[in-house]
Structure 1
């Protein structure tokens, strides 16, 4: 299964700014073709690529004042085998983090999911978040956390992911945040899901149930959204004038029929 992903961002830089983007497919993704450009009129920037310990690719450069056009497109092949996870990573994803405060939801998690473990626990947490949170674009803030989402009962994909992560960590299951391209997502945007570590393997959880987990393309992985922002900047101001994200499964001559994602089975996102 090949997937085609694109991202277009138009920004207005008010000053000389240090820019860091995370919009490309992650390091271990089987990319067939890929194009990434940062242009400002006749000027084309060549970023420094930084790859973190999870394989997330960061592209950094200093942009000058004016209009900046960011364009990315890639064709991605079938998913590869996941890379090994170190003991340090597993421990890191057990700890509370800025947006996934597992220590603050500990008591509720222990009461609600008492006696559950493994795949049964993951399914129970997924069902709870899917039922307790309403998907409400435009009503949540970038500073909202798992605790906020639990209190308000509303949010977008990042909020669903943070709550899943916090509850799983409270139940001693390593859990992490993943930004991705999601073919079929409606409304289309950069998407966020959670991953749970069971028996040496990471399994993807999407409590929004808005996209088929088997078609996702990994962009960035971290403790929470703070590690996976598609854009961060330092030293000046900017305006994001336009953003367009798209992702779809490439048509084939003879597509094999597949059942819809049931969102309960264990699925890997490599």
Structure 2
């Protein structure tokens, strides 16, 4: 399945700043053509690429005061290769994290999903979050967590993913966060989904029901959004003046809609 993914960020830097981006397809994604640039007028910066244990590619650079233009374009074809999951990974993805406080939702999860395991548990958690949370752009804050979303019943994709992850971990199923490009997403943006570890593989849970899980392109993977921020910085002011994200399937006829019931892995 050919997918064209792009990201454009225009930043205003108030001083020399240490910048860290996670906006490219992850290691293991079948990228056949890719271009990433960082420019200030005629000046071009080269970033240092760092790859974490999950295959997330981080690009780090120090840029000077002034406007910075970031552009990414890639063509992704075929199935991805996922890094092997170790026992240590699964232990880490069972523990509470900053935005996925599985210990705080433990009692409700145990009441709500008592007796459910495996695929039945996945379906129940996904259905519960899909039916009780309303997608509300503009009303979610970067500090909102799974507990916040459970209490307010509103959020965006990252909030849905955090709540799914927290509930699954509370039921002793390893779960993690994935930032993705999502062809067909409306409104278009970077997308976030949960992944659950079942029978030796990671399966996507997207309780927003806004994207076709079969077309996702992985960007970053972590315990929650704190590990997968598209931009983090240190040492100065950074203003995000403009951001445009796009993802589309190229040259393929329409397929049947994703029913969000069949188990799917990020391809």
Please indicate the TM-score interval, normalised by the length of the shorter structure.
over 0.9
Runs of 4+ in 1 over 2 A off after TM superposition: 80-83
Aligned to 1:269: 266
**Corresponding position: 1:131 with 2:131:** yes
**Corresponding position: 1:37 with 2:37:** yes
After superposition, residues 82-93 of structure 1 pair within 5 angstroms as 82-93=82-93
CA distance in 2, matches of 1:195, 1:119: 13
SS state of the match for residue 88, structure 1?
A: helix
CA-based RMSD of the aligned residues comes to: 0.8
**Corresponding position: 1:54 with 2:54:** yes
Q: TM-score, normalised by structure 1?
A: 0.98
Aligned to 1:173: 173
SS state of the match for residue 173, structure 2?
A: coil
CA distance in 1, matches of 2:65, 2:255: 49
Superposition deviation, residue 81 in structure 1: 4.1
Superposition deviation, residue 42 in structure 1: 1.0
Name structure 1 gaps, 5 residues minimum. none
1:5-42 residue CA offsets vs partner (Å, 9 max, x unmatched): 00000000000100000000000000010000000011
CA distance in 2, matches of 1:180, 1:224: 13
Contact 2:54 2:83 in 1 (8 A): no
Name structure 2 gaps, 5 residues minimum. none
SS state of the match for residue 110, structure 1?
A: helix
CA distance in 2, matches of 1:83, 1:38: 28
Aligned to 2:18: 18
SS state of the match for residue 123, structure 1?
A: helix
Contact 2:29 2:81 in 1 (8 A): no
CA distance in 2, matches of 1:80, 1:104: 35
Name the CA shift for 1:151/1:30 in 2 (closer, same or farther; >3 Å): same
SS state of the match for residue 70, structure 1?
A: strand
Aligned to 2:213: 213
Superposition deviation, residue 79 in structure 1: 1.6
CA distance in 1, matches of 2:212, 2:79: 14
CA distance in 2, matches of 1:45, 1:126: 42
SS state of the match for residue 140, structure 1?
A: coil
Q: TM-score, normalised by structure 2?
A: 0.99
CA distance in 1, matches of 2:225, 2:213: 19
SS state of the match for residue 70, structure 2?
A: strand
Aligned to 2:256: 259
Aligned to 1:158: 158
CA distance in 2, matches of 1:75, 1:9: 19
Superposition deviation, residue 258 in structure 1: 2.7
Superposition deviation, residue 187 in structure 1: 0.3
SS state of the match for residue 33, structure 2?
A: strand
Aligned to 1:223: 223
CA distance in 1, matches of 2:75, 2:58: 19
Aligned to 2:192: 192
User: Greater shift after overlay, 220-229 or 75-84?
Assistant: 75-84
SS state of the match for residue 89, structure 2?
A: helix
